Amino acid sequence: MQPSDMVHPAVSGLPALRAEIAAYLQVSRGISCSPSQVFVTSGYRHTIALIGHALLKPGDRVWLENPGYPPTRELFRHMQIASVPVAVDRDGLVVSDGIRLAPRARAAVVTPAHQSPLCVSLSLPRRQALLDWAAGNDAWIIEDDYDGEYRYVSRPLPALKSLDRDGRVLYAGTFSKVLFPSLRLAYLVVPEAEVARFEEMTEALAAGSPELTQAIVTAFITEGHFARHIQRMRRLYAERREMTAAGLESVLAGHMQIDSQPGGMHLILRLLGRQSDREFVARMRKEGLYAEALTDWMIEGDAAPALLLNFTNIDSQRTAETLARRMSKLL
Ligand SMILES: Cc1ncc(COP(=O)(O)O)c(C=O)c1O
């Protein structure tokens, strides 16, 4: 480290990291952008706050996926931005419902690769319908691509941003899933025409991320470790997903059914019968086991009861069977 590295960091991110992220997004997510469009943030929430300050105002309405990632609605609530819950089906966000409920909404937040939490992918016709709606209404699309790399049935799908001809998509990426969350490094890609506005906002907030961490991640990418790490993790998680599903099914078939999904880091276990998912996860937590209830991810309305169970730390079919036996005692 040189003395010149110890001054305040560049608020939009280390230039070398912004360049590496732009190059990576081109190769792995099909996104063409220049480094000046990339803003390094300290995580998804920082990214959303930046977008909120730059492009939205109190009283605006925003479509959110229902069910959807709970922090998003919390953040918008604090910004006095109204959430419009829009249903999700097997093709992802039901865009026609959004148009019916709030045609003049200012933005839509979507997780197109693997919907959070249902893990379905937004179909191509829906992607096109969403882009057309945004272009026709000067609305923004916030693409939360938190785990797009973790697809097991095919190569990762290109990002929605790669289809953005009208400069309406703000792309939110993170290192939390492909590396680890305590890094607190994420990034936002903004349309070319909005760069000056975001530069002004990042200057005003001046919440730059630690330069040392950014320099380490930059070297990790430049030296080729990052690409190899992703390949390795995708293979490992694909194996763990298979083993976990097999182990759970061998014990819990008849009580639960596992959704087949193209990607993600958790399984969705549909509870058969009249079990409450909230009560079931409460019983699990008393036993030191962790899952989340799909019901808790609903903004409004009821979901069919299901558990969201992370499989990334389940290292064998036998571990999954042991877990399933403990769960079966709580039925
Ligand atoms: C849906 C979704 N979006 C974004 C993130 C990334 O959040 P962060 O970058 O703040 O770690 C996560 C992480 O859990 C997530 O599940």
Domain final position from 223, 245, 267: 223
Count up the domains in the chain and report the number: 2
> pLDDT value at position 47?
96
If pLDDT is split at 50, 70 and 90, which confidence band does 165 have? very high
Sheet of 61-66, strands arranged across: 38-41, 186-189, 169-174, 140-144, 107-110, 61-66, 82-89, 92-93
231 part of a folded domain: no
- Please check the confidence at residue 100 and state whether its pLDDT lies above 80: yes
- Please check the confidence at residue 101 and state whether its pLDDT lies above 90: yes
Say if residue 198 is in the same domain as residue 320.
no
Q: Tell me the percentage of the chain whose pLDDT exceeds 70.
A: 100
Q: Considering only CA atoms, which residue is closest to atom 15 of ligand 1? A: 146
**Which atom of ligand 1 is closest in space to residue 45's alpha carbon?**
10
pLDDT one-digit tens code per residue, 207-253: 789 999 999 999 999 999 999 999 999 999 999 999 999 999 999 99
Q: 179 lies in which domain range?
A: 3-223
In short, whether 43's Cβ falls inside 6 Å of ligand 1 is yes
Say if residue 74 is in the same domain as residue 209.
yes
If pLDDT is split at 50, 70 and 90, which confidence band does 8 have? confident
| For range 9-34, the mean pLDDT | 96
230 part of a folded domain: no
Q: Tell me the percentage of the chain whose pLDDT exceeds 90.
A: 92
260 part of a folded domain: yes
> pLDDT value at position 212?
93
In short, whether 44's Cβ falls inside 6 Å of ligand 1 is yes
Say if residue 300 is in the same domain as residue 193.
no
Rounded to the nearest angstrom, the gap between the alpha carbon of residue 326 and the centroid of all alpha carbons in its chain is 30
Say if residue 207 is in the same domain as residue 304.
no
> pLDDT value at position 2?
83
- Please check the confidence at residue 325 and state whether its pLDDT lies above 90: yes
Say if residue 204 is in the same domain as residue 91.
yes
| Calpha distance 146→139 (Å, rounded) | 22
In short, whether 175's Cβ falls inside 6 Å of ligand 1 is no
Say if residue 171 is in the same domain as residue 317.
no
- Mutate which of 21, 41, 42, 44 for ligand 1? The one with the most ligand atoms within 8 Å of its CB, which is 44
**Which atom of ligand 1 is closest in space to residue 177's alpha carbon?**
13
232 part of a folded domain: no
Whose tokens are 């079931």? That residue is 280
- Please check the confidence at residue 273 and state whether its pLDDT lies above 90: no
If pLDDT is split at 50, 70 and 90, which confidence band does 323 have? very high
Dihedral, 13, 14, 15, 19 alpha carbons, nearest 10: -80
Say if residue 214 is in the same domain as residue 251.
no
Say if residue 205 is in the same domain as residue 247.
no
pLDDT one-digit tens code per residue, 103-153: 999 999 999 999 999 999 999 999 999 999 999 999 999 999 999 999 998
| For range 21-50, the mean pLDDT | 97
Q: DSSP string covering 55-74, please?
A: H--TT-EEEEEES--HHHHH
> pLDDT value at position 206?
73
Say if residue 156 is in the same domain as residue 68.
yes
